[in-house]
Amino acid sequence: MLPYIPIPFWPHQLNSFGLMLWVAAMVGAVIAERAFKRAHIDADAVGMVAVALIVGIIGSKIWHVLDTPEEFRAIGWAVLWDNSGFAWYGGLTFGILAIVLQGWRAKIGAVRTLDLLAPAAAIGYGIGRIGCFLSGDGCYGIEIQPVHIFGMTFHPWGMAFPHGLLPAYVPVYPTPLYELGAGLLIGAWLWWRLGKPHATGAILGQYLALSGIARFLVEFIRRNPKVLWGLSNAQLASAGAVVMGIALTWWASTRPVRVAEKAKEKAAAPVEKTA
């Protein structure tokens, strides 16, 4: 693990989680800008991502405090600037609100703006999980146990985090790596779908459904406490995201399909007559 990265000729160390958060933001901004250009939208995509990132970080901390009040009682307001304790759904909720407001102000439309930024959100989230992996901030999984299926025994691969911010001295599931893979796959799918004809809201609906399913499944091997029906808070929120995603995808299926701008340009281009 590498929670802090030494800097040559400098007395301070670089926080690996903060570094990967910055990398995730930069990659997300590039993807968002390309999505806007592909849709021929003249708006500041990079600025939108920056604002959503800041608001999302604040939201993730607020959600974490509400989700784990015992930690707040233990260390007080210091939990707000602690290196660990960033709740994904808090960041997602506050980030979406920030994007909705900016999309409305830019006259793009709230839902369409969320469609355009969905691939960036999925890929940025996956990259950000590398920071969790490097820092060992406790968001990894439970202890590895043999899995018995159909009379056969499997031993899943795991790893310890002895030097993490929240150490784990026995092999556990490296769930941040699973979430990295899921984020990249979901982001690639959404980017491909975004370039195809689609109704407004379809891409956002798929993002909510797919990311919700991925988070719901990984929670079974995460170290989060169970709060209701044997499910964690994150799983309950994931289930809500999946329901919203399916409903939004169905609603989008009843709406007019937005033809890709490039296809429109080709259709509008005059056809040259041949002799």
As a whole number, mean pLDDT of residues 41-45 equals 85
pLDDT at 273: 46
Q: What pLDDT score was predicted for residue 212?
A: 94
Residue 207 pLDDT more than 70?
yes
3 Cβ contact list (under 8 Å, min separation 6): 15, 16, 17, 83, 134, 135, 136, 137, 163, 164, 165
* pLDDT, greater one: 215 or 258: 215
Q: Which pLDDT value is given to residue 262? A: 44
Given a contact cutoff of 8 angstroms between Cβ atoms, the answer to whether 139 and 133 are in contact is: no
Q: Are 71 and 102 in contact (CB under 8 A)?
A: no
> Which CA distances in Å does 121 have to 64, 75, 127, 147, 248?
20, 31, 10, 33, 18
Distance separating alpha carbons of residues 144 and 64, to the nearest angstrom: 26
Say if pTM beats, i.e. exceeds, 0.85: no
What pLDDT band is residue 252 in, cutting at 50, 70 and 90? very high
* Helix H or strand E segment including 191: helix 175-194
CA distance 72 to 158: 31
Q: What is the mean pLDDT of residues 117-144?
A: 86
For 189, phi then psi, to 5°, come to: -65, -45
More confident residue, 232 or 270: 232
Residue 153 near residue 95, CB atoms below 8 Å = no
Higher per-residue confidence, 261 vs 230: 230
- List the chain domain ranges: 4-137+158-189
Residues contacting 84, CB < 8 A, separation 6+: 135, 137, 138, 165, 166
Handedness of CA 33, 177, 20, 59 (dihedral sign): positive
Side-chain-side CA neighbours of 221 within 13 Å: the count stands at: 22
Average pLDDT score over residue span 82-88: 58
Alpha-carbon distance of 118 to 212, in angstroms, equals 13
Characterize 229-243 residue by residue with b for buried, 16 or more Cβ atoms within 10 angstroms of its Cβ, and e for exposed: eebbbbbbbbeebbe
